[in-house]
């Protein structure tokens, strides 16, 4: 290990380990982890590998991911041989229809067109990935943005009709990186180039010192509405 884990972070790690073990026991084959390959999600990948390897995971490849993200996907598959990881892609016909009607980069023109692109490339594949599941796991943290500052460890996802678990809800960005460094977890090299939040290449940019960690995503839009639809801002909280 290259960095010490504080007592406070160790307590949080043990809490997440307990949540993951319980989720694996409660839902068996009815739970999946939506792995975006961001910093939070590689932490969860490592924790699932250690404590709940029976939990399956998936990645949404939108067709416009940065090469660095695809490189990390290959690394994760190689590094965590005990995990099951599926990749879901958008339907070719949906992408072709969107581009034919709106243009290849129409998402810059309006929020409606941007959300339409997200719907085709992310929301519809997510629906397929979650089909038949009882619960899903995400790497959301309260600290990430104003749209996520009230997320709970477990909440009812009304839009998808299943339970949503956010084991890292109370983690800070500093704690995420302390875990990555201490455990030498593979991560996206774009993070070292000031990309704290990484999505599709055309919709992601580096940020400046002091900017919000999500400010590099859809930077041309109002931050209070800056979500793709995967994670509605007002879920129903259970605990």
Query: Which tens digits make up the pLDDT trace of 64-76?
Result: 999 999 999 999 9
Q: What's the whole-model pTM score?
A: 0.88
Q: What are phi and psi of 165, to 5 degrees?
A: -110, 130
Asked if 118 and 89 count as a contact pair (C-beta separation under 8 A), the reply is no
What is the model's pLDDT at position 144?
72
| CA 12 to each of CA 18, 19, 31, 52, 88: distance values in angstroms, whole numbers, following the listed order | 10, 10, 22, 16, 31
Binding site listing for [4Fe-4S] cluster: 117-118, 200, 203
Alpha-carbon distance 152 to 52, whole Å? 20
192: which DSSP letter? G
State residue 225's pLDDT score: 53
Residue 239: its pLDDT value, please?
28
Instruction: Please give the pLDDT value at position 147.
Output: 60
How much is the pLDDT for 4?
85
Active site amino acids = 228
pLDDT at 238: 30
* pLDDT of amino acid 55: 98
| Residues of the chain falling short of pLDDT 50 | 1, 226, 229, 231, 233-239
């Amino acid at each position: 290990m290259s960095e010490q884990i504080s007592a406070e972070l160790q307590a949080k790690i043990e809490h997440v380990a307990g949540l993951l073990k319980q989720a694996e026991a409660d839902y068996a084959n009815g739970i999946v982890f939506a792995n975006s390959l961001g910093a939070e999600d590689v932490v969860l990948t490592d924790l699932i590998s250690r404590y709940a390897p029976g939990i399956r995971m998936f990645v949404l490849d939108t067709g416009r991911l940065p090469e660095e993200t695809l490189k990390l996907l290959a690394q994760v598959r190689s590094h965590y041989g005990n995990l099951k990881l599926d990749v879901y892609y958008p339907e070719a016909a949906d992408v072709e229809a969107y581009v034919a009607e709106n243009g290849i980069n129409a998402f810059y023109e309006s929020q409606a067109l941007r959300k339409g692109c997200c719907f085709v490339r992310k929301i519809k594949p997510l629906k397929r990935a979650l089909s038949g599941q009882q619960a899903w796991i995400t790497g959301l943290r309260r600290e990430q943005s104003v749209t996520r500052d009230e997320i709970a460890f477990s909440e009812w996802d009304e839009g998808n009709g299943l339970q949503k678990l956010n084991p890292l809800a109370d983690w800070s960005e500093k704690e995420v990186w302390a875990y990555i460094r201490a455990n030498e977890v593979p991560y996206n090299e774009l993070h070292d180039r000031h990309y704290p939040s990484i999505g599709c290449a055309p919709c992601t940019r580096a940020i400046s010192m002091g900017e919000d960690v999500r400010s590099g995503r859809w930077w041309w839009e109002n931050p209070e509405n800056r979500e793709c639809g995967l994670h509605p801002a007002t879920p129903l909280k259970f605990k």
